[in-house]
Amino acid sequence: MFIMLIWGLVVAVWAGRSLAVGCPQPPAPLSFPLADTQVNPRVPGSLMRGIPVRIGTPPQNLVMLPWPDLNNTYIYDDQTACNTKLIDNDEICRVRRGGYYYETESTSFTKTTDVIDAGGAPVEIDTLGSESGIPKLVSSSLAGTDRFAAGDKEPVTIPVGIPRLQWDGGFTISHALGLGPNSTYLNALVAARQIPSRVWSIFWGRMWMGSADMDGAIVLGGYDKEKVIGENFTAQLDYSENMGCWTGMRVIIVDVIANFPHGADVSIMSGNLPVRSCIVPQRQLLWEVPVDIATELRKKAGLVSSSPSMSITAFHALATMLNTTASDSVFDGDLTFVLSSGLRIRVPNNQFIVPRIGYAEDGSRVVDQSQKDLLVYSVTNQQPSTLGRYFLTAAYLMINHEAGTFTMWQGNPSRKSTLVPVSQTSEQCSPESSGDGLGTTDNHTTDDGESGGSSGNNGGQNEPESDPTTETSVSIGTIVGAAVGGAAGLACIVALVMFCLWKRRRQRGPETGGFLPDDGPVAYIDNTGPKEIGSLPPMATELVAEDLRPELNGDFRGYELHGSGPYGGVLNRGGY
C-alpha cells in the first residue's frame, strides 16, 4: 500500500508539472497611450493625437488612430495626397497623416501582389454609413508585410495596405490601425502570445485644458478598471445592413440633458424620438445628430452660430463655429447622454466647446482661444448619427471580438491604471496545447499607465467595476493549482499513513519484514505549493441593450462636399 501511495504521489507531481509546462499563464494586456505626438522632428508644434507606433527596419515613427470597422491596417506613404479642399498644403497633410511611411527605406518590408497575398483579411466591413472607398482598399492598395510595434513591445510582422486612393471622408486622415472583428494586428498579437485575447478598450483622455490635459489609452487584451465608474452595459456587435452602424456599436439615446452650472437640468430632446447613434471612435467630433436636435441644443444652451457657421479645414472639421460676442457668456454647463440601457454619460463642457484648432503652413498646431467651436454637427434625417472621439472623453468602451460584444461605462479620468485581462473562451487548455489566452493574471497597478494584467470578476448591468465578460473559463492557474494542490494533499496522506504505521510499530515493537523503529521521527515530504483551489467567479448576467432596428433607406457612405470656397454650403455623405 505504501509503495502505491508513493507511486501515486510521483504521478501527481509529474501531472502537475506537465500541466504547468503545457498551459502557461496567459500574457497580460498591453496598454498604449493616445497622446499628442510630435510628427516632424524639426517642428516642435507639429502635433497629432493618436497611438505612437514603430514600423519597419530601421523603425519609422508614426501616429495612428484605431478603426473598429477595418480588419486590415492601412498606412500612408507620401504618394497619396490629402484632399486639397480640406488640407492646405503638403506639410499640414504630413502632420495630419501622423507622418509618412517610406516602405522603400525599410529592409524588412516585403512587397506582395495585394493585401490578401500579404496575409491580410480578404473582406472589409462595407455596410451603410461606412466610408465610400473601403470596398476598393483591399484590391487597390500597395501591399506587403513589415515589422510593426506600439510601445516598447517586440514587433510582430503584419500585412499592411498602403492606400493609392483618397478613400475616407477626408476629415479622419491619419493612418488607420484596423481593430475590426478579423483584425490582422490583434490576430498577430494573440498568435505571438503578447495579449490574451482579441479584446480592446479605449479612453480618449482629455484635451484643450492646458496643463490639465490627460493622455488617453488603448488597452489590447482587456480593459483598465481605474478608468471606469459604476454600472456598465453590454450589447452585441452587429454589423448588419439593417442595424445601420458600420462599427457594429449602435446605442439608442433617449435624452440629452444640458447641465447648467447653477443646478438646472434641461432636456434638449423633449418631444423628440430617440436617436440611434453609431459609436465611431476615429470621428473628430462629439456628436453628429439630426438638425432639429442640434438646433434645440443651441437654443436651450443659448449658443449662437457665427457666419460662416462651419469650417472644413480646421482640425475639428464640421464643428459649429460659435459667435462668442452674441451673448454675455458662452454656455459653460455639461451634457449628459441618457442611453436606452439606463447608462448616463456626462461629457464635461471643455470637451465639446473647445478653442478653434488649426495648422500653420509648417504643420504646427495653432490654438485660438478667442474663438470657440461646438463639436456637434447637424445631419439630415437620411444621414446616420454618430458619437465620435469626444464622447470617449467621458465614456469608456471595450470591444470583445471573442464574445462578439461591446461594453460601455461612465469613464473616470484617472491617471492610475489597473489592467484587467479578458481571456478567450473558445479554446481549452491541455498538456498538448499552448494554452492560448485562458485565464487571468494578477493585478498590476501603476500611476503612469504602464500596467500588467489584473484579475476581475465577471459583471454586467448593476455590477460596478466588474469584468464585463459573460463567459467564464477555468484559468491555467486553477488547473495547475489543482494539480499541485492535489499532489500536496496526496503527500499529506502519505505522511499521515507513514506516521500511523510508524506509531503502530512503536507500540507493537519490531516485527520481521516490518518498519524498524528509530530514535527520531520519520521524515516525510512537505509540499509547500498552493493549498487552496480558488472557485470560479460567478457567471455574470448580461444586459443587452434594447434591440430597435429601423429600416434605413439610401446609401450613406462617406462625405461629399458641395459648394466652393473654404466653407461648403452643403455637406452630404458620399465620396470625394
pLDDT in the model for residue 472: 33
- 186: pLDDT confidence band, cut at 50, 70 and 90? very high
With CA atoms as reference, report the closest residue to 291 among 280, 281, 299, 283: 299
- 26: pLDDT confidence band, cut at 50, 70 and 90? confident
pLDDT in the model for residue 498: 54
The overall average pLDDT reported for the chain is 78
Helix (H, G, I), strand (E, B) or coil at 34: strand
pLDDT in the model for residue 152: 80
Grid coordinates of 132 = 465610400
pLDDT in the model for residue 84: 87
Q: Is residue 68 part of a domain?
A: yes
d(CA 474, CA 296): 52
Q: Is residue 185 part of a domain?
A: yes
pLDDT in tens, 236-245: 999 999 898 9
Instruction: Name which of 132-136, 290-294, 331-335 the model is least confident about.
Output: 132-136
Q: At what angle do helices 2-22 and 476-508 cross, to 10 degrees?
A: 160
The CATH number of residue 182's host domain is 2.40.70.10
pLDDT in tens, 84-119: 888 989 999 999 999 999 999 999 999 999 999 999
Residue 455: pLDDT over 50: no
Q: Please give the distance of CA 157 from its chain centroid, rounded to a whole number.
A: 21
Residue 339: pLDDT over 50: yes
pLDDT in tens, 152-163: 889 999 999 999
Helix (H, G, I), strand (E, B) or coil at 202: strand
Q: Is residue 167 part of a domain?
A: yes
Residue 220: pLDDT over 60: yes
With CA atoms as reference, report the closest residue to 121 among 160, 77, 162: 160
| Per-residue CA distances from 134 to 53, 285, 286, 558 (Å) | 23, 21, 23, 10
pLDDT in the model for residue 442: 39
Q: Is residue 88 part of a domain?
A: yes
What is the residue whose three cell numbers read 471595450?
398
Q: What is the torsion angle, in degrees rounded to the nearest 10, for the CA atoms of residue 353, residue 359, residue 363 and residue 366?
A: -70
What does the DSSP assignment read for 331-366?
---EEEEEETTS-EEEE-GGGTEEEEEEE-TTS-EE
Q: Is residue 153 part of a domain?
A: yes
Mean pLDDT, rounded, for 172-178: 94
- 289: pLDDT confidence band, cut at 50, 70 and 90? very high
Residue 460: pLDDT over 70: no
With CA atoms as reference, report the closest residue to 358 among 571, 563, 86, 565: 86
d(CA 484, CA 492): 12
Grid coordinates of 487 = 499532489
Q: Is residue 139 part of a domain?
A: yes
pLDDT in the model for residue 69: 96
pLDDT in tens, 75-85: 999 999 898 88
pLDDT in tens, 343-363: 999 999 999 999 999 999 999
Strands 73-74 and 156-162: parallel
Q: What is the torsion angle, in degrees rounded to the nearest 10, for the CA atoms of residue 452, residue 455, residue 458 and residue 461?
A: -50
Residue 13: pLDDT over 90: no
> Residue 112: which domain range?
30-195
DSSP β-bridge partners for residue 161: 74, 143
- 308: pLDDT confidence band, cut at 50, 70 and 90? confident
Instruction: Name which of 18-32, 81-95, 341-355, 558-572 the model is least confident about.
Output: 558-572
Residue 500: pLDDT over 60: no
Residue 379: pLDDT over 80: yes
Residue 175: pLDDT over 50: yes
| pLDDT: which is higher, 15 or 562 | 15
The contacts found for 110-115 with CB under 8 angstroms, 24 or more apart, are: 110/144, 110/145, 110/146, 111/142, 111/143, 111/144, 112/143, 112/144, 112/145, 112/159, 113/143, 114/138, 114/139, 114/141, 114/143, 115/72, 115/139, 115/141, 115/143, 115/159, 115/161
pLDDT in tens, 464-495: 334 444 333 334 344 334 444 444 554 545 45
Q: How many domains does the chain have?
A: 1
pLDDT in the model for residue 527: 30
With CA atoms as reference, report the closest residue to 98 among 118, 74, 116: 74
Residue 458: pLDDT over 80: no
pLDDT in the model for residue 432: 40
Q: Is residue 170 part of a domain?
A: yes
pLDDT in the model for residue 499: 53
Residue 31: pLDDT over 50: yes
Q: Is residue 72 part of a domain?
A: yes
pLDDT in the model for residue 132: 85
pLDDT in the model for residue 562: 36
pLDDT in the model for residue 6: 52
| pLDDT: which is higher, 20 or 453 | 20
Positive/negative CA dihedral, 176, 178, 184, 189: positive
Residue 3: pLDDT over 80: no
Could you tell me the maximum CA-CA distance found in the chain, to the nearest angstrom?
A: 110
Mean pLDDT, rounded, for 429-447: 41
What is the Cβ-side half-sphere exposure of residue 444, based on CA atoms within 13 angstroms?
Answer: 17
d(CA 493, CA 382): 74
Residue 516: pLDDT over 50: no
Residue 146: left if φ>0, alpha if ψ -120 to 50, beta else—which one? beta
- 8: pLDDT confidence band, cut at 50, 70 and 90? low
What percent of the chain lies above the pLDDT cut of 70? 69
| Per-residue CA distances from 156 to 99, 185, 309, 316 (Å) | 20, 8, 46, 33
